[in-house]
């Protein structure tokens, strides 16, 4: 499986240039963490892939299929191949864990069956297996509004996995979770990518989590890809490019020249504050 973005651009009707020609390829069963300050374009990039946001120009190919050229029916079919996991889980609160997971199969059943939430027995079997895999084996009948944040995110992961996607897109999966639960959720995502041999692209604010869990890190700044490499290659200079959009001054040894460059910023604490992800294009 390969996802290939070429010169992807998105300008919102407001004039905001969220993506300024991003080219990026993701393949195999690698976990790619996308980092960058608030407003860098991370969510826009992920949302363009399943066309929740329409790209302005450029190409997005999933296993050779040009996603930007699909009509509505083709897009519905292609979206089965793209599993999406959201920051705020996007679950139906009053439904049970099992019912939420089965909504991941809606793209595969007829409209009538979908309306009646009448899923084939093999889908239910599959759901039990996946719930076991994500550690919610005995929770299928619980209502989602009775679950903790970590448990909800596991339901979100199960719902994406039951789609049998070719790629997993994950938007800020840990922002509402404590550090320990965040680590567990990241482990689960990378394990699932390996087991299913699919790549996973994770937008993530916490640089430490990206360093600990990703095979590859890509950094966006102001709509441009300014870093691509292994976690080991993400040094102070690279972090400066990602979070400040500038290389640190190298030649001038005077103390003032480096002031405000890297400062005493610690990994995992981007300088921009969190803000909520806008709802649409
Ligand atoms: N629906 C929208 N309408 C207009 N502008 C938008 C919209 N969504 C995002 N933007 C703008 O596009 C740019 C990129 O936003 P995006 O949400 O993709 O960044 P991000 O890196 O995901 O940020 P965050 O980490 O805070 O979620 C920002 O300037 C933002 O204000």
Residue 209 pLDDT grade (very low, low, confident, very high; cuts 50, 70, 90): very high
Burial class (CB in 10 A: 0-12, 13-18, 19+), 252: exposed
CA 3 to ligand 1 centroid distance, Å: 22
Q: Which of the 8 DSSP states describes residue 205?
A: S
Written as six digits, the tokens of 190 are 């990378």
| Percentage of residues in the chain having pLDDT higher than 70 | 86
Burial class (CB in 10 A: 0-12, 13-18, 19+), 250: exposed
Least confident range of 20-24, 233-237, 264-268: 264-268
Burial class (CB in 10 A: 0-12, 13-18, 19+), 145: exposed
What's the average model confidence in pLDDT over 1-16? 96
CA 79 to ligand 1 centroid distance, Å: 22
| pLDDT tens column, 70-120 | 999 999 889 999 999 988 778 888 899 999 999 888 877 776 776 667 788
Q: Domain 2-258: which CATH class?
A: alpha beta
Of residues 159 and 87, more confidently modeled: 159
> In 3D, which of 22, 169, 158, 10 has the Cα closest to residue 81?
169
What's the confidence (pLDDT) of residue 255?
42
What's the confidence (pLDDT) of residue 28?
92
DSSP string, 34-71: EE--TTSSHHHHHHHHTTSS--SEEEEEETTEEGGG--
| pLDDT tens column, 123-144 | 899 999 999 999 999 999 999 9
What's the confidence (pLDDT) of residue 90?
84
Helix (H, G, I), strand (E, B) or coil at 245: coil
| Percentage of residues in the chain having pLDDT higher than 90 | 70
| pLDDT tens column, 226-258 | 999 999 999 999 999 999 987 655 654 444 433
Task: Give domain limits for the chain.
Answer: 2-258
Least confident range of 38-52, 90-104, 267-281: 267-281
CA 9 to ligand 1 centroid distance, Å: 13
- Return left, alpha or beta for 21; rule: phi > 0 is left, psi -120 to 50 is alpha, else beta: left
Residues in contact with ligand 1 by the CB-under-6-Å rule are 12, 14, 16, 18, 36, 38-44, 275, 277-278, 280-281
> In 3D, which of 23, 68, 18, 71 has the Cα closest to residue 40?
18
What's the average model confidence in pLDDT over 51-65? 95
Tell whether the model's pLDDT for residue 279 goes beyond 50.
no
Contact 46, 169 (CB under 8 A): yes
Q: What ipTM was predicted for this assembly?
A: 0.97
What's the confidence (pLDDT) of residue 254?
44
CA 126 to ligand 1 centroid distance, Å: 36
What's the confidence (pLDDT) of residue 249?
59
For a ligand 1 pocket test, name from 33, 43, 48, 243 the mutation site with the most ligand atoms within 8 angstroms of its C-beta.
Answer: 43
The CA distance from 167 to 32, in Å, is 11
Pairing status of strand 57-62 against strand 167-171: unpaired
Residue 265 pLDDT grade (very low, low, confident, very high; cuts 50, 70, 90): very low
């Amino acid at each position: 499986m390969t996802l290939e973005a070429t010169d992807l651009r998105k300008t919102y009707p407001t004039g905001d240039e969220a993506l300024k020609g991003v080219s990026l390829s993701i393949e195999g069963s690698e976990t790619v963490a996308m980092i960058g300050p608030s407003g860098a374009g991370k969510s826009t990039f992920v949302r363009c892939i399943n066309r929740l946001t329409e790209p302005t120009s450029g190409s997005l190919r999933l296993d050779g299929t040009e996603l930007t050229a699909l009509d509505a029916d083709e897009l519905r079919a292609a979206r089965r191949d793209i599993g999406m996991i959201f920051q705020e889980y996007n679950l139906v609160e009053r439904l049970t864990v099992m019912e939420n997971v089965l909504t991941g199969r809606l793209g595969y059943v007829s409209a009538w069956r979908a309306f009646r939430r009448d899923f084939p027995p093999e889908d239910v079997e599959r759901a039990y297996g996946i719930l076991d895999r994500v550690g919610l084996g005995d929770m299928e009948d619980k209502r989602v509004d009775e679950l903790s944040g970590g448990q909800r995110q596991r339901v979100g992961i199960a719902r994406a996995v039951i789609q049998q996607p070719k790629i997993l897109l994950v938007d800020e999966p840990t922002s509402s979770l404590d550090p320990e639960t965040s680590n567990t959720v990241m482990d689960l995502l990378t394990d699932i990518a390996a087991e299913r041999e699919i790549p996973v692209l994770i937008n993530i604010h916490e640089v430490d989590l990206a360093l600990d869990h990703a095979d590859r890190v890509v950094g966006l700044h102001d709509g441009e890809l300014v870093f691509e490499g292994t976690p080991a290659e993400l040094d102070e200079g690279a972090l400066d490019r990602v979070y400040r959009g500038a290389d640190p001054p190298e030649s001038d040894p005077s103390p003032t020249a480096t002031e405000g460059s890297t400062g005493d910023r610690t990994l995992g604490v981007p300088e921009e504050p969190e803000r909520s992800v806008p709802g649409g294009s």
